[in-house]
A and B are shown apart, each in its own frame.
Chain A
Amino acid sequence: MAAWLRRRRGLIPYLFLLPGGLWLVVFFVLPMVTMASVALQEGTLGTGFTFTFNIGVFPEVLGRYDEQFLRSLLYALVVTILTMAIGYPMAYTIAFRGGRYKNVLLLLVILPFFTSFIIRTISWKFILADQGFVLGTLKDIGLLDDGFRLLATPVAVISGITYNYLPFVVLPLYVALEKIDPRLVEAATDLYASRLQAFLRVTLPLSISGVFAGSLLAFIPAAGDYINAELLGGTRETTMIGNVVQTLYLTNNDYPQASAISLILMVGLIIGVVIYTRVLRGQELTV
């Protein structure tokens, strides 16, 4: 075996790749192909599904669930902007002014990961509850109207998603900002740039790789999220496309429609990412 391998050294990398690569082909590529074929089938779980090459399912689900598609994109966009607005100043502070507290601050950023994502979201449900300790107290002392609520509104859903993906945005931003040589900013100010100009023309362009990675790490999962919409929203006005996929697949067993929606979501996101990559030129599609 060893002697045989020595004669065919070119095979070694393929032997290394084979098990993991095969796993990804069987449990990532094959499921995608299966899902595409399921989307083109017609029938019910009871009578069985037959492949009819039903291309019409795509315009059908787009028409029927256009509201949920658009809402998901809108929420994801708002979440991305919010996480950037909160995450950038924070990452900047840790990178440039963190001093010896850098590691402690970074630990605090990832601390939410040490509790379950579901439990954190349920905690927000506690905090935002109509008669919970925040709103209830504010209502008791008369600062808020009795009918005021946050739960089951878009505000609750968007803040929930923002909370959950904020650390994913801070970390790549920090990595990008940390690499910047402060002397470059100093050079800019020495050349009579104002602090703002130095930031806009030196720091920000140099941290664009972090902005790129961070915005994708927020936007993509936010667009597919359904837990926040379910636990903090739960009304027709907050239903996202992920909720539709979950209900169609796990409750209604309407596999063709659920598959078609998943495919549209995935292809739409890939096209979006490619365009976005072109816009922020020079970014590579590797993590």
Chain B
Amino acid sequence: MAANASAQGSLRRPRRDLASAILPAFTGLVVLYLMLPILVMIVFGFNDPRGRFNFTWQGFTLEHYANIFTSQPRMNEALINSLIVAVVSTLVATVLGTLIGLALTRYEFRGRGPLNLLIFLPIATPEVVLGASLLALFVSAGLARDITTITIAHIMFNISYVVVTVRARLAGFNRSVEEAAMDLGADEWTTFWKVTFPLIFPGILAAAMLAFAFSIDDFVITQFTAGVDQTFPLWVYGASRIGVPPEVNVMGTIIFVIAVVGIVGWTLLQRREQLVAEPTRTDR
């Protein structure tokens, strides 16, 4: 019976259908499509445009790379603002969101339904509406808009993303390891910091990375909540209205390379740790 089934399976495999020819080619094309604007960004960072418009290839230069930190002082300011907002909002949102995630997965309490709605709605609301409502609040309260209001807004939308990510990680948590620690005489505090926290830390880190990525790239909500202070996306947008300077491409390329190197390095490091931790398990 089993032999029969596997024989049929192996008979079926050589019969290559249309799908197996088209699908990989299609996927390759989509990957190219996804990469196209990034390639354009990188290439035009080396362009030597005459005039304000950096739309056609004029000649190769490294000048924009050499002067990247001196030619656009407003860009440096905006970059620093972006980093401050991203770091602060990531830290605060990760702590607040992780606490909510812990409460949702580890405790029974009333009001779970409304809380889930409160977390889901900011994700499901278009950014322009979130931005507009925050602006309405800040204007009504007579609050001046600056880097503080931007950070407040970023913490708000990041809490939901952190809760969702941490909750997914905690859902599969095996609580018997905590019971074992308690049986061995650890109190709740010690158990949490010595057992629970190290186990859920990768989930918290993933949530923080997601929050950082959302914050540093946010445009819409930032535009509504920013007053005098600019972030990097706001500066790029402003610069693009009067002709895109090549520095936009150069800085975009630098950020892209740092992000790619960071994520690839982190993934490889994790894989190595996994291999060290579970040497018997064969690679899937």
CB contact between A259 and one of B38, B54, B132, B259 (< 8 Å): that residue: B132
- B87 interface residue per 8 A CB criterion: no
- A16 interface residue per 8 A CB criterion: yes
Give the dominant DSSP class at B's interface: helix
Cα distance A127–B115 when bound, in Å? 45
A13-B107, A16-B103, A115-B38 given; A90·B236 CB < 8 A:
no
A28-B118, A116-B236, A118-B219 given; A97·B55 CB < 8 A:
no
Interface core residue of B19, B103, B129, B152 (most chain A CB under 10 Å): B129
- B232 interface residue per 8 A CB criterion: yes
Binds A, one of B133-141, B197-205, B274-282: B133-141
Minimum CB–CB distance from B271 to chain A (whole Å) comes to 9
CB contact between A114 and one of B23, B152, B232, B260 (< 8 Å): that residue: B260
- B56 interface residue per 8 A CB criterion: yes
**0/1 interface trace, chain B 109-139, chain A, CB 8 Å (1 if under):** 1000001111111111111111011111101
Contact A126 B44 (CB under 8 A): yes
Q: How many residues of A contact B (CB 8 A)?
A: 90
Minimum CB–CB distance from B263 to chain A (whole Å) comes to 7
CB contact between A20 and one of B19, B96, B140 (< 8 Å): that residue: B96
A38-B140, A117-B217 given; A216·B236 CB < 8 A:
no
Minimum CB–CB distance from B30 to chain A (whole Å) comes to 5
Can you spell out 14 A-B residue pairs with CB atoms less than 8 angstroms apart?
A: A10-B109, A17-B99, A28-B133, A29-B118, A94-B27, A115-B41, A127-B37, A167-B34, A224-B220, A226-B128, A259-B132, A266-B126, A270-B124, A286-B116
- A227 interface residue per 8 A CB criterion: yes
- B183 interface residue per 8 A CB criterion: no
A90-B27, A226-B128, A249-B224 given; A122·B248 CB < 8 A:
yes
Cα distance A127–B129 when bound, in Å? 30
